[in-house]
Structure formats: structure tokens, C-alpha cells
Amino acid sequence: MKASAPGKIILFGEHAVVYGRPALAVPVTQVHADVEVLDSSRPGVWINAPIIDLHAELTSLPSDHPIASVILKLIQLFGFSQTPGLEINISSTIPVASGLGSGAAVSVALIRSLSSFFFHSLSDDEINIIAYEIEKLHHGTPSGIDNTVITYNVPVYFIKGQPIETFKTGKPFTIVIGDTGIPALTKESVGDVRRLWLKDTHYFENIFNEIAQISLIARRSIENGQPELLGELMDRNHALLQKLTVSSPELDKLVITAREAGAFGAKLSGGGRGGNMIALVEQARAESVASALISAGAKRTIITEIS
């Protein structure tokens, strides 16, 4: 039984979203995690995930292993005392630790394929709850935005703990994604921001409020068909993310390069410190911005249309 799940980018509001502010995220279907569950004649649950160099039987993995924890959770949910022999093949084109939601996408695809394999149908709401539990195991204090946008595979205007809201795009717009190629764990940048916030809550709350304003205006601009207004909002959001200390010289370099190559605006996307940045571009300029990013050191680029 096969299932897949897309990657994602955060357009506006990362980090502030952990503190209850709104954020906007969209799925990126050019990259995806794919899982296949097959019957196996040998006993045990065998997992092959070449992307993380994993070839192992379930019981040989620690129970909090990101993949094992999903499988164990479902075995418990389905009420199995013993599982039949299974082979689980996991592949993904989403770079690991890059801010594109690779972990959440693997969890969602794995939950989907295992539940279909065992004829235990789960709604998107149920899948999202399980994927969020897994995110909490591995990312400390996640907002839940990654698992939500990836599970429902629609643009989301996300506020932690509130029912999922999607948003419509009045006019399509083009985003170039540039990967620094530097792996960075979201857990670490989220933990660092928390430490700073605990030390100087007032200052950081103000930054989160400014980011919240940007997310609100961005949603309105997207829905009103004025995506050209997003460029300046991205620049402002990036400056605030720098104040949160989650940018890096490599991210800043790609952001500046994108602007110099004609993007309307650019910012880091996701946890930061490494991983990806995004730039808003005129469609006709997407290729030239992408190649400027490669010349400035990006390991790869993706051009995606938000519509």
C-alpha cells in the first residue's frame, strides 16, 4: 500500500506561531515523502529508509526513534498484540533538516500507508492529531503548523490550538525556494528562541506581535489578489527573524542575492539557521533569480506557483 505527502514552506510567521501568533504555510508538491507497506514472509517489521541510511527491524530501534515511534503508535492504536511480517519502504525527495517539513511528511505518509494497509481508515483530522503527537516527541514545542499543512495539503492560515483555516489566492504568485544546503534542526532554533524569550519576554513578545501583523496583512494581500505587496512584507519578516537570531550568514546572503536579482522580497523559511529561504518573484524572472541563487551558493532551488 503506497501513500505520499508533500513538503511545505512557511510564507510568514515562523517562530512567532509557536507563541500563538498566526502564520501562513503552503504545501510544496514538487517534493514529497513516499511510503510503501508490503506483506513480508519473514517475521518482524523491516524498515528501509535509504535517505537516512536506515535498514532495520522495528524492535532493534529505540521506541522514540522518529520512524519507529510512528509505527509503534499505530500498532497500539489498531490494538495489535502481534504484527504480521511487514516491509516498509520509505523514500523522500524532501531534504532532511531543511525547513521543508521532511519529518512531518514522512510521518503523514507512513500513517496513511499503514492505516490503508490494515483497512483502518483514518480521517485527515485523526492523521493530523497523530502526526502532531509525533512532532511533539521530536521537536520540543512545535506549533503544529508543519503537520497541519502537510496532512491537509492546502494553504493554511494557522493559529496554534485553533481549527484549521485555509486561504484562497486572489491571484497566483511565484516563489523561488533556495536551499543553503546547511542542515539545521528546528528543535534547536525553537529552543534558542525560547531561552531568549524567557530572558527578555517583553522585547520578544513585541517582535512576535510585529510578525503577527505581517501575517495578517499578508493574508489579506493574498486573498485580495495583491501578491506584489508581499515582497516588502517578506523583507520585514526576515529582518524580524534576524532579531530572533534564527538567520545565518548563508541565509542572509541568499536573501540579498534574490533581492539584487530582481525578487520583490525574500526571507528565510522554517526554523532557520540553515535550510531554505524563499523569494517572491515575477514569473518571468523565476529562472534568473534561481540561477543567481545557485551562483551565490544555493545547493538547489525549486520554483513553485502558489495558486
**Which active-site residues does the annotation give?**
146
Closest by CA to 206, choosing from 243, 235, 158, is 243
Q: Give the C-alpha separation, 74 to 239, whole Å.
A: 42
Interface stretch with ligand MEV, choices 63-71, 126-134, 142-150, 283-291 (CB under 6 A): 142-150
Q: Which cell is 19 given?
A: 507563541
Q: Residues near 160 by Cβ (< 8 Å), separated by ≥ 6? A: 17, 18, 20, 143, 144, 145
| Under 8 Å between Cβ of 105 and 124 | no
Closer by beta carbon to ligand MEV, 24 or else 279 = 24
Query: CA 188 from chain center: how many Å?
Result: 15
Q: Indicate whether 268 belongs to the interface with ligand MEV (CB under 6 A).
A: no
Minimum gap (Å) between residue 270 Cβ and ligand MEV? 4
Minimum gap (Å) between residue 230 Cβ and ligand MEV? 18
Minimum gap (Å) between residue 99 Cβ and ligand MEV? 6
In the region spanning residues 222 to 241, those forming contacts with ligand MEV, defined by CB under 6 A, are none
Q: Indicate whether 26 belongs to the interface with ligand MEV (CB under 6 A).
A: no
Closest by CA to 191, choosing from 142, 131, 135, 243, is 142
Q: Going residue by residue from 184 to 223, which x/- string records binding to ligand MEV, judged by CB under 6 A?
A: --x---x---------------------------------
Q: Indicate whether 145 belongs to the interface with ligand MEV (CB under 6 A).
A: yes
Closer by beta carbon to ligand MEV, 190 or else 279 = 190
Interface stretch with ligand MEV, choices 13-21, 37-45, 208-216, 260-268 (CB under 6 A): 13-21
Q: Indicate whether 244 belongs to the interface with ligand MEV (CB under 6 A).
A: no
Q: How many residues does the chain have?
A: 307
Of positions 14, 148, 237, 267, contacts ligand MEV by CB under 6 A: 14
Interface stretch with ligand MEV, choices 9-17, 197-205, 217-225, 276-284 (CB under 6 A): 9-17
Closer by beta carbon to ligand MEV, 9 or else 298 = 9
How many residues touch ligand MEV under the rule CB under 6 A: the total is: 14
Residue 263 phi, psi (nearest 5)? -65, 150
* Residue-wise burial string across 282-294, b where 16 or more C-beta atoms lie within 10 A, e elsewhere: eeebbeebbebbe
Tell me which amino acid residue 88 is.
I
Closest by CA to 31, choosing from 54, 49, 12, 4, is 4
Query: CA 41 from chain center: how many Å?
Result: 36
Minimum gap (Å) between residue 105 Cβ and ligand MEV? 12
Q: Indicate whether 103 belongs to the interface with ligand MEV (CB under 6 A).
A: no
Closer by beta carbon to ligand MEV, 14 or else 179 = 14
Q: Residues near 27 by Cβ (< 8 Å), separated by ≥ 6? A: 6, 7, 8, 149, 150, 153, 154, 155
Of positions 32, 270, 280, 293, contacts ligand MEV by CB under 6 A: 270
Minimum gap (Å) between residue 29 Cβ and ligand MEV? 17
DSSP code at position 261: T
Of positions 3, 5, 11, 18, contacts ligand MEV by CB under 6 A: 18
Q: Give the C-alpha separation, 18 to 262, whole Å.
A: 32
Residue numbers at the binding site for ligand MEV (CB under 6 A): 10, 14-15, 17-18, 99, 142-143, 145-146, 186, 190, 270-271
